[in-house]
Amino acid sequence: MTTKKRVIKVHNVKSSNIKEIGFDPKTQKLQINFLNGSKYQYEKVTAHQFADIMAAKSHGAALSKDIKGKHKFTQITPSESD
């Protein structure tokens, strides 16, 4: 039996570094797609944290403040320069 991988729906954002942000409430995964082509998924993110990032004036600053260094992550796709 194979496990079907869930696809996270992403939303375009206006940011100098981030292209798209998505969230799956079932798995509590936050996906960040950067302009350089790299994609990351952060684990155990709450719906409230996702809403805060989406509402922030600077998505990158909110990501750095509330998620990076506090949540385990997986790099899904390396940057185009890697």
DSSP string computed for 10-61? EEE---SSEEEEEEETTTTEEEEEETTS-EEEESS--HHHHHHHHHSS-HHH
Would you say residue 77 has pLDDT above 90? no
User: Does 3 map to a domain?
Assistant: no
> How much is the pLDDT for 82?
56
User: Does 65 map to a domain?
Assistant: yes
Would you say residue 4 has pLDDT above 70? no
> How much is the pLDDT for 78?
78
Q: Mean pLDDT of all residues in the chain?
A: 92
Of 47, 82, 40, whose CA–CA distance to 64 is shortest?
Answer: 40
Task: Indicate the pTM of the whole model.
Answer: 0.88
The count of structural domains within the chain is 1
User: Does 2 map to a domain?
Assistant: no
Report the b/e string of 50-64 with b at 16+ CB within 10 A. Answer: beebeebeebbebbe
Domain range for 63: 10-77
> How much is the pLDDT for 1?
58
